[in-house]
Structure 1
Amino acid sequence: MSSALEQLAETGGGSVDDLIHRSQPEINRWIAQWEGIFPPGVLECRGIAEGLGWSWEKYATALCHHRLSGDLPQCTLVGRRDEGRPLFGKTDDIGLHQLGLNVMEISRPDVGHAHLHFHFGGTPWTVAGANAAGLMMGMTGIPGPMRDEDGLFSLMGLHTVLPACASVDEAISHLDPLPLNAYGFSLMLADRGGDFALVEKTGAGMTVIRADDKPLVHTNHILDDVFAAQNPQQSEPILSNGQRRYDTAKKRAADGVSVDSILADRSPQGAICQQGEAGLHTDFALLFDAVNDRLSLWAGYPGVVAPEIIDVGALLG
């Protein structure tokens, strides 16, 4: 998070202290808008700031660096049914200077489901995870409207899902009315009962895609044409990069290539495992098997590092 502040300050031509000072009015407004929807999330952020030994103003500025810079999450999702059970995979693609800064955290809230979740260190931004009730999820970023009203940044919205929801249907019902005021996400969901769905969600609304007889694939552009027209277009070079990844993943999945092999794909026309394309690098990848309560985690480039198998049921008790 310190490096994010330093980069933002350098871009603005001043010091970190200058950045913090000039950004406070809009950051205070954004935090108040989050707090209007999800007070526990802001309380958690204050606890993280205290644990880091940072002032609230410094932490809040770092927390909002995505919105200040436009540097937002770009990943690939691909899934299908294998002998009836849903299997899906996710890459998490970030900048070279950010590699190794994602963490897996286990949370056991006083109210809600115990869960493990993956997020950027020092933030509550949930990008993937699983809970003790058998729900698993993984996201990628899509463009959405920026609105000056009460609502959540997309990754804060995702932070609310795993404690609250036990199934795909519950997650869809939870997300539908949840107001977002910045950016958006596509979210692949599966549960222990074998349900499987893909959600596209922004401040403009939500779509749900179910395709039990064919693979589901998503990168960083909205698939539903009507919904896409209600949202901003993805920016370059992420738009072209994401379209190439989408084409690769869709073709490989249609050809019957396994999900884990797709995550490691290095096709020159659209590599799934990013190693510098459009400035992106795959920091980690996951294979989700909700029916069997199991995750496979590649803590680095899939296909280069060996996966670690996580028994979610045993870990969360």
Structure 2
Amino acid sequence: MPIVEAQDLSKQFRVADKQPGLAGTLRHVLRRRYREVEAVRKLSFSIEAGEMVGFLGPNGAGKTTTLKMLSGLIHPSGGHLAVAGCLPQRRQERFLQQITLVMGNRQQLIWDLPPMDSLRVNAAVYGIDPSEAKRRIHALGEMLELGEELHRPVRKLSLGQRMKAELLAALLHRPAVLFLDEPTLGLDVNAQVRVREFLADYNQRYGATVLLTSHYMGDITALCERVLLIHQGQLFHDGPLDALTTRLAPERQVRLELRDAYPAETFRNFGRLEELQERHVMLLIPREQLTERVAALLDRFDVVDLEVNDPPIEDLIGGLYTRAAEDSQADG
């Protein structure tokens, strides 16, 4: 059975409908009106034990709302939800022992105390024997390259050190399911790489299931073979990352370096001209016509170099986010 299963999951929020200006404020005080906002709509997916799955979507798409429902922090408005054989909204001890939620913009460590003090508190909360807690802290500390940092006040740690200490605190009870919401938020490139390496290592050692949301595509491409893309509260894609590329980009990039320069109209019948700089050309060609068009290009021109690529996944998903924002503004 899947360790995470959502079927027709939905969540609506009731929010005050206040108009701008003084008149709107007075009407809001005297006769308050509300409207329903649908954050998640009929969302269905399942995750097998041990999978590492990326969870993508623009701001406001419903990612964090979904993670909060999966971790039992908020109740779904409709649909069925099960995590590790439990109903998350009941927040049973058996469920809480098996999951963790890490949010890159939230912290659980006490600011003025060393992380070690917070770790001891967490161990006591989860009923972990002190000797076992010590072994786990040592093992996770080595994996995260944390040593003396565990004995310094949290406020004196760098952002990367704090994030690694937060991960250690969240994983001390060895949860089977990790819900990670922007775990590398604000970290520099080197710190991001170390966190990714740790998560991959943790998944391999303990067989943990990971659902990861991130705006850094490097996190997703490095860790996740499968991605869920949520768009306007609904599931847009569930499958391999390269299949998402095919879906979002029906064309492939063909870059050419030619022996001679040609005017733009010369390439009209070969594809959509994206770039022309003297002898350097970039065309977008439909995938199903790629072989035929490339053969025609090689036959027609004296080609010095040729390269065929998919458009960068960051650009594709960024374009989807931009369209979502434009649609939202148009609806408003």
Q: TM-score, normalised by structure 2?
A: 0.30
Q: Compare CA radii of gyration and give the structure with the larger one.
A: 2
Q: Considering fraction of residues, name the structure with more helix.
A: 2
